[in-house]
Structure 1
Amino acid sequence: MKSVATFLVLILAAGGISTVSAQTAPDAASHAHHPAAADQPQIDVPAQAGAAVAVAERFSDALASGDLKTVEELLARDVLILESGGAERSRDEYLGHHAISDAKFLEGTHRQLLRRRARTAGDLVWIGSESELHAKKDGKPLVLLSAETMVLRQTPEGWRIAHIHWSSRTKR
């Protein structure tokens, strides 16, 4: 896990990893809190990160459908999950606690991807995603703006999620 933390510090200090990729042109509001058009998410994912992004999507779909067996398969044993000021420091800890409530919350929730950026460095890929979550709370519609960072590590079994950081807030 130390290598993942070091990787994140280096990425943040360097302002990202340069890659050559097909990407959408940045919009003037990219740093503002204006969502992208509903049918046009802004995607900046180099080809070499594609397989890791597919694993991240598979994880999100599995969690939303309550498929905790797939969730377990895609998480590294030593995954670090940060959310709302708290931490779960292993796959077993997450599966024994918040995975069940996360799956229950996401059941029936529609996720609309707004932006995604991914970068690679050796056997690590980081993925930053911004989405809108359309849910119901107490029978009333609820729209959350969600930010997610994942770091995936290439293993003999394939890409596994080594770190997740989730944050969200109610859309105004």
Structure 2
Amino acid sequence: MLPAILLAPGRLRLIGLVSLGLIGWAHPARVESAGGFDDPIATVNQFRAALQDGNPAHVLAPLASDVLIYEAGEQQASRDEYAAHHLKADIAFLATVYVDVLGQTGHVDGNTAWVTTRSRLVSREADPRPPATVAETIVLRRVAANWQIVHVHWSSSSAGDAP
């Protein structure tokens, strides 16, 4: 029970505003930058947009040379390996689906950040594939004023998969 002094008109509203302010302060802001890779979530969103747009140079730009990518049980251990072996397939696949971001959050701890995103993929054409839910975890490292992607982990399940 709150003391009567705190329940006085105007005081409760102030307590609520202060509480909301503290909640906002405790969680990282999700502010997208206008350009560049100066915000972790913006960096991840620009990376995803480049994949969806089919632009290999823009896909590779935020990746560290030693990026480690896990996808469907496979591993690419560098930007060059990803470019040579899996990038084209990812671009081709994303051209066939609509991507609906279900949720995204991020956290910064010094020069390290991570962003998690859940998306739903639905086929663009009459396709027997059921919609899929994708969980994405991306770890970033701050280099000077920019964020580089150092690890990507994608996993998915289709609507037909058992829980």
* TM-score greater than 0.5 by the shorter chain: yes
Correspondence for 1:97: 85
Q: Which runs of 4+ in 1 moved over 4 A?
A: none
Deviation, 1:139, is 3.4
User: Structure 2 residue aligned with 1:122, among 85, 91, 110?
Assistant: 110
In structure 2, list runs of 5 or more residues that go unmatched: 1-21, 33-38
Q: Percent identity?
A: 33
Deviation, 1:118, is 1.1
In structure 1, list runs of 5 or more residues that go unmatched: 1-19, 24-43
- 1:78 is aligned to 2:66: yes
Bigger mean CA deviation after superposition, 97-106 or 154-163:
154-163
**Alignment TM-score, normalising by the size of structure 1:** 0.69
Rounded Cα–Cα distance in structure 1 between residues aligned with 2:56 and 2:66: 17
**Alignment TM-score, normalising by the size of structure 2:** 0.73
CA contact (8 A) 1:49 1:118 kept: no
Alignment: residue pair count: 133
Correspondence for 1:46: 28
CA RMSD of aligned residues (A): 2.4
User: Structure 2 residue aligned with 1:22, among 3, 24, 30?
Assistant: 24
Larger CA Rg, structure 1 vs 2: 2
Correspondence for 1:34: none
Deviation, 1:158, is 1.2
Rounded Cα–Cα distance in structure 1 between residues aligned with 2:27 and 2:132: 24
Deviation, 1:156, is 2.7
CA contact (8 A) 2:50 2:56 kept: yes
Correspondence for 2:149: 161
